[in-house]
Amino acid sequence: MGKLDKKVALISGSGRGIGRALALKLASDGAKIVVNDLDDAPAAEVVAAIKAAGGDAVACVGNVTAPDFGERFVQTALDTFGGLDIIVNNAGYTRDGVIQKQTDEQFQAMLDVHVVAPFRILRAASEYLRVQAKVEAAEGREVIRKVVNISSMAGTHGNAGQINYSSAKAALVGMTKTMSKEWGRYKVCVNCVAFGFIETRLTKAMDNPETKIEIEGKAIQAGVPGAVLENLKHMVPLGRAGHAEEAAGGVYLMCIPESDYISGQVLIVGGGISI
């Protein structure tokens, strides 16, 4: 018996990187996973990997910023697995630049993917959670569900050159604390995990081809300047960047029964960084 047997988890942005690692980890502990990615191939690969290991998963491909995505994401879980227990708002990317060089579109893009999309997903889930909590209370049962919003130390501490990203990630902290108060009566624990320097394609050097990503036909340059990358490594007390599996481990802690009385909190997964 896994700790998450019979649980159903939505994980946005789970075709690659940290999201992929988390999907595999939750599935290995018994959860059924709705995998999401912008592209078909990464999502299909994760679903296949989960099934090959004896788990169960389904893909819900698409851009989380689409107005109808939240409803479609939640409905995929309900139609396929008949329930919903864990929501992880993980999808996102960076579009860095100092304020004088940022356009309105560049700033808004970060709000759309990191704030508006999670809001729509949680709003889409609200009716199911409300009704289920009422039914379970009438039956004398307490079923604890989990929401984990993925923030960043850019949002908790600020980061030069990321006013759009840091503003959006800071907003997720406020969303987390508000929803923990709104949904406590529904027995939903809402927490936030803020990552520090984690090795993903978005934190590679900008001259690495992997940092060029495409979103609905638009080429986006992500990544980190090489000099900044070296400085970041020296700032981490543990002396290195975190791996995707280690980042996923921090989220996992907020999904398992051991965290059933933890809500409204921000967990920093940063190898000891505190400034």
Q: Are 158 and 114 in contact (CB under 8 A)?
A: no
Q: Which two tokens stand for residue 110?
A: 């970060």
The 10 Å CB-count burial string (b at 16+, else e) for 78-97 is eeebeebbbbbbbbbbbbbb
Q: Which two tokens stand for residue 242?
A: 């975190």
Catalytic residues: 165
* Residue 221: half-sphere exposure toward Cβ, Cα within 13 Å: 8
Q: What angle do CA 44, 50, 56 make, to 5 degrees?
A: 95
Residue among 111, 221, 99 nearest 161 (CA): 99
Give the DSSP letter of residue 34. E
Place of tokens 């999907």: 23
Question: What is the token pair recorded at 23?
Answer: 């999907």
Q: Please name the residue that has the structure tokens 């379970």.
A: 136
- Give the H or E element holding residue 32: strand 32-35
Q: Which amino acid is at 170?
A: A
Identify the three-state secondary structure at position 213. strand
Alpha helical stretches, state H, the chain: 17-28, 40-52, 69-81, 104-111, 117-138, 153-157, 163-183, 226-235, 244-253
Q: Cβ distance 212 to 173 under 8 Å?
A: no
